[in-house]
Amino acid sequence: MQVFLQTLIGGLSLGAIYALVAMGFSLVYRTMGLVNFAHADVLMIGAYTASTFYMSSRLPFALAMALAIAITALIGLFIERVLRPLENKDFTLMLIGTIGFGMVLQAVAVLIWGATGRAVASPVKAAPLEFLGLRVRTYDLVVLLIAALAVLLLVGFLQRTKMGAAMQAVAMDHEAATAVGIHVGRSNAIAFAVGAGLAALAGGLVGPLLYVNATMGGTIGIKGFAAAMLGGCGNVPGAIAGGFLIGILDSFAAGHFQGYSELVVFLVFTAAIMIRPTGLFGETTVSRA
């Protein structure tokens, strides 16, 4: 039982990271009907940027994270602006464009930070907490707390602000939204910026847990995308649930199957998607193709 609970706690921490990544995927998909394949590499840029401000510039971790989020949000705006002329014209080229941006971001990361990567010191120096025989890293609790705060802020933004309401309207029917005067391009740009900010938050948080390098976005991004699909792509609450499910599954698979854990995770994911193709909270949504 103790091992089970210890593994579960580790899975929740990892799941919070995947949930942040999945929310970014879902937000862009819900608004534009587009899978942003550059999302994982934006996460990597966010991780590198946060670690640079934190370790090289000696800024407080929270400030380093805020700067990384701001910079990646600008990257998100830039990607959307470049792709905007293709909106509602050539969906395939837009998808290919996001893949191209991802490759460019990887190349830029290698040019700026090199190909060897870096380890990031934990910003939380406190000893692990112990209760009921369990040892919980303090940083894991910080990750869960920040992820929960990010979810609340995103939900509040979508439900309580005019900008969020406009994005919801565009997601439901972009032609009707245009007819009532909503600027669809601006809503898409905000979706990209917020999605990129979420990716940077995930990247900055995962930096002290993993090794930061130019290819780190690959595995995290694929699992984040799987989480978005599992929850129901385009569904933000589903992305959160999918993130935690993938994180917990990943944690238990790593404990029991070691080198085959990735295989187990994606076999279970494939089986779940075959049973329920629209995901757990499946919405039949947005298709602009």
Length of the chain as a residue count: 289
Residue type at 20 in one-letter notation: L
Q: What is the pLDDT of residue 289?
A: 45
- pLDDT at residue number 66: 95
pTM of the model: 0.89
Q: Which two tokens stand for residue 280?
A: 């757990």
Q: What is the pLDDT of residue 283?
A: 58
- pLDDT, one tens digit per residue, over 258-289 is 778 889 999 999 999 999 888 888 755 444 54
What percentage of the chain carries pLDDT values higher than 70? 97
Residue 31 pLDDT more than 90? Answer: no
**Residues above pLDDT 90, as percent of the chain:** 43
Whether 180 shows a pLDDT value over 70: the answer reads yes
DSSP 153-199: HHHHHHHHSHHHHHHHHHHH-HHHHHHTT--HHHHHHHHHHHHHHHH
Residues facing residue 211 across a β-bridge: 119
Burial 254-270 (b: 16+ CB within 10 A, else e): beeeeeebeebbbebbe
* φ and ψ at residue 285, rounded to 5 degrees: -125, -140
pLDDT tens digits, residue range 239-255?
A: 999 999 999 999 999 88
Task: State pLDDT tens for residues 68-127.
Answer: 999 999 999 998 888 877 776 677 788 888 888 999 999 999 999 988 888 999 888 878
String of DSSP letters for 188-246: HHHHHHHHHHHHHHHHHHHTTTSEE-TTHHHHHHHHHHHHHHHH-TT-HHHHHHHHHHH
Contact 202, 220 (CB under 8 A): yes
